Amino acid sequence: MNEGLLIHPMHLHGIPQKVVAKDGHRLPQPYLADTVLVGPGERYDVIVEGSEPGVWAFHCHVLNHAESPNGMFGMVTAMIVE
């Protein structure tokens, strides 16, 4: 869900995102995406299958939304698959 005024291309490392709904409405044709472009006011539902153990970064691809000279911050987190 994007509550802001900027576009955020959200990327999960290593595992494709299966996009199944937009703004609460199921898509007739779900699709796999490496990066999901989430515009202001948009919501997406995605399914990811964590079949590979590891720590997978999930972040915005606009680098100044997730990275500074001091390291990662802001729109970055990790999905841990054990």
Residue 13 C-beta: closest distance to Cu ion, Å? 16
Q: Which two tokens stand for residue 58?
A: 């999930």
Does 60 participate in binding Cu ion (rule CB under 5 A)? yes
Q: Pick one of 8, 12, 38, 44: the residue that binds Cu ion (CB under 5 A).
A: 8
Residue 62 C-beta: closest distance to Cu ion, Å? 4
SS3 category, 5: coil
- List of residues contacting Cu ion (CB under 5 A): 8, 60, 62, 65
